[in-house]
Amino acid sequence: MEKVLEVKNLHTSFFTHVGEVKAVRGVNIDIYQGEAVGIVGESGCGKSVTSLSIMRLVPPPGKIICGEIYFKGEDLLKKSEKEMQKIRGNKISMVFQDPMTSLNPVYTVGDQLMEPLRIHKKMDAKSARRQAIELLKAVGIPDPERRLNQYPHEFSGGMRQRVMIAMALSCQPELVIADEPTTALDVTIQAQILELLKQLKAEFNMSIMLITHDLGIVADLCSRVIVMYAGIIVEEGTTREIFYNPKHPYTWGLLKSIPRINILSKERLIPIDGQPPDLLKPPQGCPFMPRCRYAMRICKEQCPGLYSVSESHKAACWLLDPRAPAVTWDREGVNFG
Amino acid sequence: MSRSNEVLVEVRDLKKYFPVRGGLIRDKNQVLKAVDGVTFSIYKGETLGLVGESGCGKTTIGRTILKLYSPTSGQIIFDGNDITNLNDRQMRPYRKRMQIIFQDPYASLNPRMTVGDIIAESIDIHKIAKGEERKALIYDLLNKVGLSSEHANRYPHEFSGGQRQRIGIARALAVNPDFIVCDEPISALDVSIQAQVVNLLEDLQDELGLTYLFIAHDLSMVKHISDRVGVMYLGKLVEIAPSAELYDKPLHPYTRALLSAIPIPDPDAAKQRNRIILKGDVPTPINPPSGCRFRTRCPIARERCAEEEPVMKDYGGGHMAACHFIE
């Protein structure tokens, strides 16, 4: 399989008036053609900043400090702004979290949908319109001819998110970055959108990078999962490896803190105590150490590197070192759905 | 949880309509039927969960029970007393007994007040304590919700989302209430923090014998915390049952679709199950469909559904649902 995206040692910081906030601190990601990769983590873990860095859309005072981002072998960080414009929305596109604010309220949906087609594909107005109608049909919007002339406020949240997805797909990108695409939506609408993404992925053989905090969505859509915490990747593997054989205490905590829906008896949730660290002063050791019940002395002093569990499964935890005491992951304790 | 058979809160055929303003031509007769004839009871010491999609009226119900909105019609009975038509002054003694925790921990705390003053606002209004006694009460409340007494002099912006929600809980507890409406108290929080707040709510319930109305759209969390769950759709209660029963044997087609739409954090189970994908969006509550309101999206709707509105029927064991075609 062809590698579509390769992120190497990415560091992105925000230079605020109180100091440098190190939002992303050395992230490596590979995405292959046709696969959906989920990036999970809590707010502030750097998952959105990673995706904005890939698009070179980090807002000031944020800056990419170092790293390489290869898209089909070309380093995006070496591209000029003009060259980037040819890639954004064309080869790589993005679906943002909030469908209410990411469409321009003063242009019709049709105008916004035709814009990338006219710019990137150099279509004339007529064929762009025809294509836009096709796209709206593809994402399941009824009566697309009429809908094209309407403004975003005439669409419901779910419908707007469909428009956003149609826009993202308009130039048949090779990679779609979806940043919490269903967070603002109701469950039944979320189910519709996820089904749509699955179907479109199969149809166009595109790659999806799905950023979310909802492990349920990842289990449903993605074949691989990357778990981020405090700006670094703490664990990555296939979806089955992450859900059935997690190795990092943070992943254990995430899985344990969500209630199981198919268990009839009532059981107590096991939260992760405390809060994520302040990235103004990222800790010297493992960032999860203060919240980790298995923490050892080394965890405070030195940040662990990624240990390989299998060819596809890696985790950054000192517990995986052969010298560490054996901590077994008790399956019973996990809140499987 | 120590649920009794004594009813603490009862709503009978509760309706809350909002006038619709705006637009070029003002039609004074247009109303938004946020809650349109809902009947249920909440027992002492239990948690009743209320779920539904945005705009289904669940928040409006919570606020109307507390008389933060005055009901259009119907009855609200609190601990045996009809409070539907009480004025603000008559409501005062009841306000001490019923409190609310809001969804957004960022918007619901006054940024110019210290945490101590936020928590003590109701203590001051109800003249519960003064001076040292007041201070001791604040410290006690802060400790109860897992914060420390030195937090009393700080301002809300110094706290994280989870901590702010703890402040909101402390404020609700300040007047020693019997009943708390929890209006999406965890929706704005991160997963690992949600569990902290839910555990806190459960502990406080055990300790203080509280009764909760827990409003949320996260069905798995609602199932976890509630003894019974009510499902709402477009201003109507469509099904209500003990929570395990509802999740195990949902009767109403909307409940079934809603449950099947929950993403399951288990890749194998996610692949196996059959999802019921509903078509379209929720219709507007200004002009709801005739008959059964769910019929426009219902996979089993027939002609009768458009003509006749289904009524709530008892299917035994406290399981009630409103649909013409439940086998």
Closest among A87, A83, A51 to A72, alpha carbons compared = A87
pLDDT at B296: 92
Residue B295: pLDDT band with limits 50, 70, 90:
very high
Q: What is the mean pLDDT of residues A125-144?
A: 87
Give bridge partners of residue B100 from the DSSP assignment.
B181
Is the Cβ–Cβ distance between B174 and B119 less than 8 Å? yes
Q: In b/e form, how buried is each residue of B43-64, taking b as 16+ CB within 10 angstroms?
A: bbbbbbbbbbbebbbbbbbbbb
pLDDT of B272 over the 90 cut: no
Q: What's the half-sphere exposure (Cβ side, CA atoms, 13 Å) at B316?
A: 1
Is the Cβ–Cβ distance between A332 and A254 less than 8 Å? no
* Residues on chain B touching A290 (C-beta within 8 angstroms): none
pLDDT at B1: 45
Q: What is the mean pLDDT of residues A157-169?
A: 86
Domains parsed from chain B with CATH numbers: 7-90+216-321 (3.40.50.300)
Q: What is the mean pLDDT of residues A237-264?
A: 86
pLDDT of A337 over the 50 cut: no
pLDDT of A241 over the 50 cut: yes
Residue B31: count other Cβ atoms within 10 Å of its Cβ.
15
Name A160's Cβ contacts closer than 8 Å, sequence gap at least 6. A99, A100, A103, A152
Closest among B250, B239, B242 to B3, alpha carbons compared = B242
Place of tokens 């049709």: A110
From CA B312, how far away is CA A330, in angstroms rounded? 44
From CA A197, how far away is CA B233, in angstroms rounded? 26
Rounded to a whole number, what is the distance in Å from the CA of B245 to chain A's nearest CA? 8
Our measurement of the distance from residue A99's CA atom to the centroid of its chain's CA atoms, rounded to an integer in Å, reads: 16
Rounded to a whole number, what is the distance in Å from the CA of B138 to chain A's nearest CA? 22
Window 145-174 of B, Cβ < 8 Å to A? 160, 162
| Residue B224 to residue A269, Cβ atoms within 8 A | yes
Rounded to a whole number, what is the distance in Å from the CA of A190 to chain B's nearest CA? 8
Of A42, A48, A97, A188, which to mutate for an interface test with B (greatest number of B Cβ within 10 Å)? A188
Least confident residue range of A67-81, B65-79, B264-278? B264-278
Q: What is the mean pLDDT of residues B25-54?
A: 87
Residue A290, preceding peptide bond in cis (omega within 30° of 0): no
Is the Cβ–Cβ distance between A84 and A78 less than 8 Å? no
* Residues on chain B touching A244 (C-beta within 8 angstroms): 267
From CA B155, how far away is CA B161, in angstroms rounded? 13
Nearest to B191 among A186, A213, A239 (CB): A213
pLDDT at A336: 38
Q: What is the mean pLDDT of residues B150-162?
A: 88
Nearest CA in chain B to A223: B267
Rounded to a whole number, what is the distance in Å from the CA of A60 to chain B's nearest CA? 23
Instruction: Tell me which DSSP letter residue A66 carries.
Output: E
| Residue B191 to residue A215, Cβ atoms within 8 A | yes
Domains parsed from chain A with CATH numbers: 3-222 (3.40.50.300), 246-333 (no CATH)
Instruction: Tell me which DSSP letter residue B218 carries.
Output: -
Least confident residue range of A105-109, A233-237, A266-270, B322-326? A266-270
From CA A242, how far away is CA A315, in angstroms rounded? 10
From CA B239, how far away is CA B11, in angstroms rounded? 15
Instruction: Tell me which DSSP letter residue B107 carries.
Output: T
Residue B148: pLDDT band with limits 50, 70, 90:
confident
From CA A12, how far away is CA A27, in angstroms rounded? 10
Q: Any chain A CB within 8 A of the CB of B248?
A: yes
Question: What confidence tens digit (pLDDT) does each residue in A185-197 have?
Answer: 778 888 888 888 8
Nearest to B258 among A188, A217, A260 (CB): A188
ipTM: 0.80
Our measurement of the distance from residue B39's CA atom to the centroid of its chain's CA atoms, rounded to an integer in Å, reads: 14
Instruction: Tell me which DSSP letter residue B323 carries.
Output: -
Q: Any chain A CB within 8 A of the CB of B65?
A: no
More confident residue, A332 or A102: A102
In chain B, what is the greatest distance between 2 CA atoms, to the nearest angstrom? 68
Nearest CA in chain B to A225: B267
| Residue B263 to residue A253, Cβ atoms within 8 A | no
Is the Cβ–Cβ distance between B100 and B65 less than 8 Å? no
Nearest to B262 among A189, A192, A261 (CB): A261
Average pLDDT over chain A, rounded to an integer: 88
Question: What confidence tens digit (pLDDT) does each residue in B199-249 have?
Answer: 999 999 999 999 999 998 888 889 999 999 999 999 999 999 999 899 989
pLDDT at A334: 42
Q: What is the mean pLDDT of residues A177-205?
A: 84
| Residue A186 to residue B217, Cβ atoms within 8 A | yes
Rounded to a whole number, what is the distance in Å from the CA of B263 to chain A's nearest CA? 4
From CA A197, how far away is CA A162, in angstroms rounded? 10
- Helix or strand (DSSP H, E) at B16: strand B7-19
Dihedral pair phi/psi, residue A323, rounded to 5°: -85, -10
Of B189, B191, B201, B272, which to mutate for an interface test with A (greatest number of A Cβ within 10 Å)? B191
Of B3, B58, B187, B192, which to mutate for an interface test with A (greatest number of A Cβ within 10 Å)? B192
Residues listed for chain B: 327
| Residue A271 to residue B196, Cβ atoms within 8 A | yes
pLDDT of A133 over the 80 cut: yes
Nearest CA in chain A to B223: A261
Q: Any chain B CB within 8 A of the CB of A188?
A: yes
Q: Any chain A CB within 8 A of the CB of B131?
A: no
| Residue A187 to residue B219, Cβ atoms within 8 A | yes
